[in-house]
Amino acid sequence: MVAVLESSPLQRRKDVLVLGATYEPLEQVGWRRAMTLWVSGRVEVVAHYDDRVVRTVRRALPMPAVVRFFRSLRRDRLAVKFNRDNIFQRDRGRCQYCRQTVIKREATYDHVMPRSRGGKKTWTNIVLACKACNQLKGNRTPDEARMQLAAPPRRPRYLPDLWSIRTTSHTGTIPTPWRPFLGMDAVGKARE
């Protein structure tokens, strides 16, 4: 019984960042959904907007900006599709060999264990690579080519994650209260 009324034209936006129990960013939701979760006792509010309120029958509350689940969720029902877009996202748009940022349309996808040697197209064998590194590596394993992977490739547990929230925010700017939870500084730059 969340009797919330709010007259702002912003009400259809997804203004609330949802964190998992260990503060990992999970998704963005509208404030109504966030209030429902809060009233049902499943989340705590960890940050508010200073300049927005949600009106209930009895009082006005600051609008939540970030909420956190008390218990961890089962996310495995949301299996992440294996495709180029999601590999790009998993690898944060960086070549996994030289760590440089790669423009999406110039991205190539490297078989860690080369295809010619039985390497499969799987989450654990495909990584994002820049053209130069991909050519340099050729039909060799990373060891043979002396090219170290930034991280062992894994199947992601869920999307969207921190990086996709950062880059696909519909507003184009990340709300200030979200920033500490997305590894950003106060002006919205990524700390990396």
Among 98, 145, 150, 162, binds Zn ion (CB under 5 A): 98
The token pair that represents 78 in the structure block: 């949301």
Residue 84 DSSP one-character state: H
- Sign for the CA dihedral angle at 51, 190, 187, 170 comes to negative
Among 95, 107, 112, 128, binds Zn ion (CB under 5 A): 95
127 binds Zn ion (CB under 5 A): no
112 binds Zn ion (CB under 5 A): no
Give the shortest CB-128-to-Zn ion separation in angstroms.
9
145 binds Zn ion (CB under 5 A): no
147 binds Zn ion (CB under 5 A): no
For Zn ion (CB under 5 A), the number of binding residues is: 5
Q: How many helices (H) and strands (E) does the chain have?
A: 5, 6
- Sign for the CA dihedral angle at 55, 58, 64, 68 comes to negative
Using the contact rule CB under 5 A, the part of the chain among 49-57, 87-95, 157-165, 175-183 near Zn ion is 87-95
Residue 5, strand partner residues: 55
130 binds Zn ion (CB under 5 A): yes
Using the contact rule CB under 5 A, the part of the chain among 60-68, 117-125, 129-137, 177-185 near Zn ion is 129-137
Look at residues 131, 87, 86, 123 and name the one whose alpha carbon lies nearest to residue 107.
131
**19 near 67, Cβ under 8 Å?**
yes
Among 133, 159, 174, 182, binds Zn ion (CB under 5 A): 133
* Contact residues for Zn ion, defined by CB under 5 A: 95, 97-98, 130, 133
